[in-house]
Structure 1
Amino acid sequence: MLHIALCDDNIDELSTMVTLLGEYKESKPIQFEYAVYHNGLELIPILEKGKKYDIYCLDIIMPSFTGIDLAKEIRRFDKNAQIIFFTSSTEFALESYSVRALNYVLKPVTREKLFYTLNDVLDQIVKVQETAIVVKSKKGIQKILLSNLIYAEAMGKKVLYHLISGSVVECIEQFSTVCDNLLKESNFIKPHRSFLINMSYIDTIKNTEIMLQNLTSVPIAQGKVKKIKECFLAFQMEEE
């Protein structure tokens, strides 16, 4: 089940989007539900309460609180959600990259435009969800989706996989092997000999530590902060 948020101050355009979403739903073997917001100030309190959507369809030109402003707030709570801008102006196209928007669609929104864009978004979501590793823990063989892995930590002869759910998968394996496998993925980085983190969950990079979205502090090895910041910037540009 996918969850989609629509935000546009124009009631007629919102109505068109809802109609087209209904047609799209009938044409695809997927289940999704959507919520409608008339401005960003309606959506922000929902996000603050912990609600997340897989896809955000945002108008850019809205009074008081633009779609770009709203997207920046969304990124505070969710680094991975797909953001699509629907707008009547091209002037914000460059700025949309700063919030890692997947697509920038010019209005009027047509059936062809919307279907093409949603197909692209779903391809991206499936790609992220399918990337996984298989580990042997005390509970047996487990599959860990990399999109759910916040960071891995070496502790003696054990490796602890910290997941977005708050659970920790404990395995007895070589941390060096884990690093060899995960560092092949563009979103993982090793800031310290005992930690490997998913950059999708970075909140803040400081001089001696990285703050993750789950409020965990991960140390940065001496002399590595510059490289870490460069890698994070490159990752954000790649995501755009």
Structure 2
Amino acid sequence: MLHMAVCDDNIDELSNMIQLINLYIVSKNISCEYTAFSNGFELISALEKGKVFDIYCLDIIMPGLMGIDVAKEIRRFDKIAPIIFFTSSPEFALDSYLVKAVNYVLKPVSKEKLFFTFDDVLDHINIKNEEDMIIVKSNEGIQKILISSLVFAEVIGRNVLYHLSSGKIIECTESFSAACDKLMEFSCFMKTHRSYIVNMQYVDTIENTKVTLQNHETIPVAQGKAKDMKQQYLNYQMEGE
């Protein structure tokens, strides 16, 4: 189920957008629901209360809070969800790149324009969804982590730290047991220690007291667990052949 946010202060334009979105949903036979907002403050308030959307459709020229400013706020909560601007003015096109908008559509919005734009956005989403991933709520907002890029996760205090192959660390306030439950759904993870879980794609060697990763980092191994871990790693490698 896709969740879409549509924000426009002009009630006629908002109504037109909703009608076109309904046509698109029916014609493409997709599972989608949308929430309409008449100003940016309402949308930001929904995000602050924990609402999550897969796609954002924003007017740019709105009183009080311009669409570009709304998009900047959205990016505090969600770094990657597609943002589409529908506007009567081309002058903000350059600014739209600053918030990583995926499209900039000039009004009036026709059926052809909207269908073409949504087809493109959904293709982008589907390509992303072909890869295994988890969704986490970090200190920077809601983020998607590709399993293929996650090297290991550890718990420090009340925070779980996700270490990515790029060197980036995503910090989340969540229980480590919940994080492990989520990751153990993927066959490539093994728990080496009560505070660490490792992606076997990045393992170089397993010894009695430590795991050495391909980036030369070392992860502790719980006492007496090395033998079972070596067997788990061997099974994983054989399954991949």
* TM-score, scaled to structure 2: 0.62
- Residue 178 of structure 1: aligned partner: 202
Contact 1:3/1:53 (8 A) holds in 2: yes
- Residue 225 of structure 1: aligned partner: none
Letter in 1 for 2:45: P
Corresponding residue SS for 1:27? helix
1:15 Cα offset (Å): 0.6
Contact 1:82/1:101 (8 A) holds in 2: yes
Aligned length: 171
Identity in percent: 53
- Residue 153 of structure 1: aligned partner: 152
> What does residue range 6-45 of structure 1 map to in structure 2 within 5 Å?
6-45=6-45
Q: Which ranges in structure 1 are unaligned for 5 or more consecutive residues? A: 134-144, 181-189, 196-240
- Residue 80 of structure 1: aligned partner: 80
Root-mean-square deviation (Å): 3.4
CA distance in 1, matches of 2:14, 2:5: 11
1:176 Cα offset (Å): 8.2
1:178 Cα offset (Å): 2.5
- Residue 205 of structure 1: aligned partner: none
CA distance in 2, matches of 1:76, 1:154: 23
Q: Which ranges in structure 2 are unaligned for 5 or more consecutive residues? A: 134-143, 155-159, 163-169, 184-188, 205-213, 220-241
- Note closer, same or farther for the CA distance 1:102–1:192 as it changes in structure 2 (3 Å cut): farther
- Note closer, same or farther for the CA distance 1:80–1:148 as it changes in structure 2 (3 Å cut): farther
Letter in 2 for 1:167: A
- Residue 232 of structure 2: aligned partner: none
Contact 1:37/1:43 (8 A) holds in 2: yes
CA distance in 2, matches of 1:19, 1:89: 22
Q: What's the CA shift string for 1:54-109, capped at 9, x where partnerless? A: 00000000011000000000000011211000001111000100100000000000
Q: What's the CA shift string for 1:186-225, capped at 9, x where partnerless? A: xxxx999469xxxxxxxxxxxxxxxxxxxxxxxxxxxxxx
Corresponding residue SS for 2:4? strand
- Note closer, same or farther for the CA distance 1:10–1:191 as it changes in structure 2 (3 Å cut): farther
